[in-house]
């Protein structure tokens, strides 16, 4: 894997802010010719620095949604049971993010559902049915004060 130079880091920073820029616009911003810039973007993608290019949708424009943080406490500290739960989480579209964490809590899930009925269905399917889930705690978001998808490129 190639070490990132200043231009690579600049490309990654600019694409995180707006990946819809054209290659010509991007090349002008980083000071490269369009072919050289395209070659770098292709290399950054092939090397796994760029994993996807997506559109961020404003959820409030699509109607009412509940955003929840769910803390999951497991019964036993067993690697295979944790992996089974993580696999089930991966297959659950309402779970938008999942973190296996240290401390009292074992997993933190970020969940988006239409309403409480949908959340209850999710709990039945994901949490109550898993043999290693001891308990879980749900925090309902009242307001999103900050949402960032970018990472600092060093």
- Report pLDDT for 27: 97
> Shortest CA distance to 144 belongs to which of 63, 74, 68, 57?
68
Using 50, 70 and 90 to split pLDDT, how confident is the model at 105? very high
In 94-140, beta strands by DSSP E: 95-100, 107-113, 133-140
Higher pLDDT pick, 93 / 144? 93
Would you say residue 39 has pLDDT above 90? yes
> Shortest CA distance to 142 belongs to which of 65, 59, 63, 76?
65
Collapsing DSSP to helix, strand or coil, 62 comes out as: helix
| For the chain, domain boundaries | 6-46, 59-140
Distance set, CA 40 to CA 12, 26, 35, 64 (Å):
10, 11, 9, 41
- Report pLDDT for 1: 75
**Domain 6-46 identical in fold to domain 59-140:** no
- Report pLDDT for 2: 78
Question: Which residues lie across from 139 on neighbouring strands?
Answer: 69
Fold exhibited by the domain 6-46:
Arc Repressor Mutant, subunit A (1.10.10)
C-alpha span between 31 and 18 (Å, rounded): 17
Which CATH code fits 59-140? 3.30.70.920
Sheet holding 107-113, edge to edge: 95-100, 107-113, 66-74, 133-140
Question: Which residues lie across from 138 on neighbouring strands?
Answer: 70
C-alpha span between 44 and 118 (Å, rounded): 39
Would you say residue 69 has pLDDT above 90? yes
Tokens of 116: 């409480």
Residue recorded with tokens 């401390």: 103
- Report pLDDT for 77: 83
Using 50, 70 and 90 to split pLDDT, how confident is the model at 60? confident
- Mean pLDDT estimate for the chain: 94
């Amino acid at each position: 894997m190639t070490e990132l130079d200043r231009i690579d880091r600049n490309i990654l920073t600019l694409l995180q802010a707006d990946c819809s820029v054209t290659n010509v616009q991007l090349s002008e911003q980083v000071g490269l010719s369009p072919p050289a810039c395209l070659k770098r973007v292709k290399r950054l993608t092939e090397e796994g620095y760029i994993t996807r290019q997506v559109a961020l949708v404003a959820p409030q424009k699509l109607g009412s949604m509940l955003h929840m943080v769910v803390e999951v406490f497991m019964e036993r500290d067993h690697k295979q049971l944790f992996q089974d739960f993580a696999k089930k989480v991966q297959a659950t579209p309402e779970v938008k993010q999942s973190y296996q964490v240290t401390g009292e809590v074992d997993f933190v899930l970020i969940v988006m559902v239409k309403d409480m009925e949908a959340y209850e269905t999710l709990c039945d399917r994901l949490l109550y049915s898993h043999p290693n889930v001891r308990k879980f705690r749900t925090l309902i978001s009242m307001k999103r004060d900050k949402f960032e998808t970018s990472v600092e490129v060093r």
